[in-house]
Each structure stands twice: as structure tokens, then as C-alpha cells.
């Protein structure tokens, strides 16, 4: 082949154009790095990256009555909305989240489709229920129950585990308190940016919050709303002050994507008390502290203590290969044996060094497993050893 032909293969006339918003994003970041005095005179660059509603919000701010700052206006707004919740102890909310149907309630990802959730709270009786197609959870006043309606497997936990089960949805347990806290956010977080606007009897309040956690390894970045750069937007009915909708958007490489949105709140919900009872048809794994303490004397926790995460992983995979039920009950203690059965007899082909990401208190280890049927699969196990008894256990990846 001639040199010119090769050179022609490697050239292209295809146009490559950066996104229209790239310049705005660059300028906005450059402006943010400047002291306030320079920023105040540079707001025109900030407008490029702000949606139209927020740009209008700037106009609202400059016409606010003298002495009434945005922080004061927001505080009043949230106090009214909080009071509305306080007077209505039972409510139900429809929520859309970009997630997987079977994953935990804190997992979000900008590339996943929306999954419908329903959250029902009875604050008078102190109970709640949250569900999506392949994961449900409830608190009956004593225990927390989490199950998969599709496969009929579930876990019984202590009442104190309800916050861990709910993850982000914990904001629904006491929305009044959360709303009151939000109003103060812009005064305590110097990196937060607030916008307030009004249109057609609806008040919109938006606050930008920067990413939290160390993401030198990006594995967990964007996997929860606390581990992304986010904008939280609330809309209120001006007449009654009630919260109408609530949205969390993440900023991912310059693109804004809604991760979590409350689309409807039924403040007059009538619910059957049976909604807050653990379903009988589920096969429950008892992981309450009392039951675990009973098991601790018979299970080999020592084998998974005082070693590093990699060593623990090797032992855990050995337990899978040999189907050592006691070892599995320690290392994979959160999981039903039925969930582990597809990996029965597997072997570890290779694994990488453990890494940390985001706010997870343990480590992640990427592995390739060969199953008993010869097929290989890649897994990333989340391991931690801070949940009691000092033994390493798997906290995700199955």
C-alpha cells in the first residue's frame, strides 16, 4: 500500500465540536476560583452554565426588599413547608431514581434509567415502607425488614439499622427537620451556591453542593448523590407553602443529569396498617444483633480477623469453592446461601490490589472468578471489618 493511501486512511474530515456549554463551564470554574470581589463583577460568565430559571433568579435577588436577604427568604420558605409536614403525619411520595431495581436505595448512576419508588411514612406510629420492583424495606416499629419481592429472600435487622436501609430516603423520616436544616446550608457551607426564583405561584429554591469524599479512584464516584457534585432543587406552592417536588441533579463531566426526583407527595394518604408488617411469604435471614451474638460462638470469626482484606478475600473464595457453610456465614454473612449458590465451587482466577473510593469505610477488590460451569465473571467486592467482631465481611458486589 502506498504511503499516501495510508496517510489518507489516518486523516478525517469529520467535524469535531466541543459542547456549547464547555466555554461556560470553564469560565464559571475560573471565576469561582477568584475572590468574591472579582466574582461579583464576573457574574456574566456564571450565567452561561446556569439554566434559564437560575438566571432569572438573579433578577429576583436584586429586586428583593432591602434587608431581606436570600437566606432569610429561604428560611421562611422552609419553615412553612416544615410546618405543613408536621401537621400531616401520614404521607406518601412517588420518587424516580436513576438506579438498578435490585440495588440498595442509596445507589444512583447517571447512565441508569429511572426506577419508580413509593415511600410511605406514618410518623404518628413511627413506621414506614419503601419499595421498588426488586427491593423493598419497612420498619414496623421494632425491626427493619429488607427483601426482594421477586425472589422472596429477605433480611431481618434491628430497628437501629433503618437508617442504613433507607440511605438517601432517610430524608423522608423527618422532612420537617431536614427542610429546616437545608435553609441554613448556604450559611454553613461556603462552597454551596443558592438560587431562589418564583413563577406562576411556584417558588423554586436550588442549592449547589460540591462532591464529598476522596475520588483518586473513581469507582464510587457518581454512585450516590453524596458522592457527586449536585444541585438540590425544591419547589413550593406559594399559597400554602407546601413542598411540591424535590430533585437532585448530578454534574458529570459537565453534563447535568437528574438522579433522584420526588414527583408527587400525597399529604392526605390513607394507608392500611398491614402495609407496615413484614410479609410472611419471604424467606428471612435473621441478622439482628441478638441472633448474630448467638451464632458468634459457633462460627469461625477468628479466621477472618487480624488479617488484611486480600487474605480475607482468598479465604472467602476458598469457602465458596469448598462450600464451607460456616465460613460463608461469616464472610458472606449478609447474604442468603441461595444467593451464593451460583458461585458454589468457583475459583479465583485473578484479583487486583484493594482500593478505597468515596465515603465507603472499607475497600474494594476487583476479581475474576471462574464458576464451576467453567464460565468466568468479573466482580468487584466491597469489604469492611468495622461492623462488629472485627472480621472482614462482604458488603457489596454480589
Partner 1 sequence: MQEETKQNRLQELEALVAREQDRLFRFAYLRVGSRADAEDIVQEVFLKLYRSEERLRRVRQMEHYLLRAVNNACRDFHRKRQYHLIPLDEAGPLPESEEDKLMHETYLRIGKVMENLPEEQAEVVRLKCTDGLKFREIASILDIPVATAKSRYRYAIAHLQQTIKK
Q: Give contact residues for partner 1 (rule: CB under 8 A).
A: 1, 3, 6-7, 9-12, 14-19, 22-23, 25-27, 29-31, 33-34, 37-38, 41-42, 45, 109, 111, 217, 219, 252-255, 352, 366, 378, 380
Residue 246 CB partners (closer than 8 Å, separation 6+): 232, 233, 234, 235, 261, 262
Q: Which three cell numbers stand for residue 268?
A: 392526605
| Four-residue CA torsion sign, 81, 84, 90, 96 | negative
Minimum CB separation of residue 3 from partner 1 in Å reads 5
Minimum CB separation of residue 388 from partner 1 in Å reads 29
Minimum CB separation of residue 134 from partner 1 in Å reads 16
Reduce the DSSP state of residue 43 to 3 states and report it.
helix
Residue 29 CB partners (closer than 8 Å, separation 6+): none
CB nearer to partner 1: pick between 1 and 59: 1
CB nearer to partner 1: pick between 236 and 360: 360
Find how far residue 194's CA is from the centre of its chain.
22
Distance between CA atoms of residues 119 and 166, nearest Å: 10
Minimum CB separation of residue 99 from partner 1 in Å reads 12
Angle at 382 between CA 142 and CA 353, to 5 degrees: 160
Distance between CA atoms of residues 262 and 246, nearest Å: 5
DSSP secondary structure string for all residues of 191-216: T-EEEEEEETTEEEEEEEE---SB-S
Minimum CB separation of residue 29 from partner 1 in Å reads 6
CB nearer to partner 1: pick between 245 and 380: 380
CB nearer to partner 1: pick between 218 and 338: 218
Distance between CA atoms of residues 39 and 65, nearest Å: 23
CB nearer to partner 1: pick between 102 and 326: 102
Minimum CB separation of residue 378 from partner 1 in Å reads 7
Helix 70-86 to helix 175-188 angle (10° resolution) is 170
Minimum CB separation of residue 53 from partner 1 in Å reads 23
CB nearer to partner 1: pick between 103 and 140: 103
Distance between CA atoms of residues 152 and 135, nearest Å: 10
CB nearer to partner 1: pick between 210 and 390: 210
Amino acid at each position: 500500500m502506498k504511503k499516501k493511501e495510508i496517510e489518507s486512511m489516518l486523516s478525517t474530515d469529520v467535524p469535531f465540536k466541543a459542547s456549547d456549554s464547555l466555554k461556560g463551564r470553564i469560565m464559571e470554574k475560573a471565576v469561582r476560583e477568584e475572590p468574591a470581589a472579582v466574582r461579583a463583577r464576573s457574574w456574566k460568565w456564571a450565567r452561561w452554565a446556569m439554566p434559564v430559571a437560575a438566571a432569572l433568579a438573579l433578577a429576583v435577588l436584586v429586586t428583593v426588599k432591602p434587608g431581606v436577604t436570600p437566606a432569610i427568604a429561604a428560611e421562611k420558605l422552609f419553615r412553612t413547608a416544615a410546618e405543613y409536614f408536621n401537621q400531616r403525619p401520614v404521607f406518601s411520595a412517588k420518587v424516580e431514581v436513576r438506579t438498578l431495581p435490585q440495588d440498595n436505595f442509596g445507589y444512583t448512576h447517571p447512565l441508569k434509567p429511572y426506577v419508580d419508588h413509593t415511600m410511605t411514612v406514618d410518623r404518628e406510629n413511627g413506621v414506614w415502607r419503601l419499595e421498588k420492583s426488586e427491593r423493598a424495606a419497612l420498619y414496623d416499629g421494632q425491626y427493619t425488614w429488607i427483601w426482594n419481592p421477586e425472589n422472596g429472600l429477605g433480611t431481618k435487622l434491628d430497628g437501629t439499622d433503618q437508617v442504613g436501609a433507607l440511605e438517601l430516603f432517610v430524608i423522608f423520616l423527618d422532612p420537617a427537620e431536614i427542610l429546616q436544616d437545608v435553609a441554613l446550608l448556604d450559611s454553613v457551607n461556603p462552597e454551596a451556591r443558592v438560587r431562589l426564583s418564583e413563577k406562576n405561584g411556584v417558588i423554586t429554591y436550588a442549592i449547589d453542593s460540591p462532591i464529598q469524599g476522596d475520588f483518586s479512584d473513581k469507582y464510587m464516584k457518581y454512585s450516590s448523590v453524596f458522592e457527586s457534585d449536585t444541585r438540590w432543587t425544591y419547589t413550593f406552592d406559594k399559597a400554602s407553602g407546601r413542598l411540591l417536588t424535590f430533585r437532585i441533579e448530578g454534574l458529570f463531566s459537565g453534563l447535568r443529569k437528574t438522579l433522584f426526583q420526588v414527583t408527587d407527595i400525597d399529604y392526605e394518604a390513607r394507608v392500611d396498617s398491614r402495609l407496615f408488617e413484614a410479609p410472611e411469604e419471604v424467606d428471612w435471614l435473621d441478622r439482628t444483633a441478638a441472633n448474630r451474638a448467638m451464632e458468634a460462638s459457633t462460627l469461625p470469626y477468628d479466621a477472618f480477623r487480624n488479617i488484611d482484606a486480600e487474605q480475607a478475600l482468598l479465604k472467602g473464595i476458598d469457602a465458596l469453592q469448598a462450600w464451607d457453610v460456616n465460613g460463608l456465614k461469616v464472610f458472606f454473612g449478609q447474604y442468603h446461601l441461595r444467593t451464593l449458590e451460583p458461585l458454589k465451587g468457583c475459583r479465583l482466577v485473578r484479583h487486583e490490589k484493594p482500593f478505597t473510593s468515596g465515603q465507603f469505610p472499607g475497600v474494594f477488590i476487583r476479581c475474576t472468578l471462574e464458576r464451576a460451569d467453567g464460565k468466568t465473571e468479573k466482580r468487584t467486592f466491597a469489604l469492611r471489618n468495622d461492623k462488629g467482631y472485627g472480621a472482614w465481611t462482604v458488603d457489596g458486589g454480589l
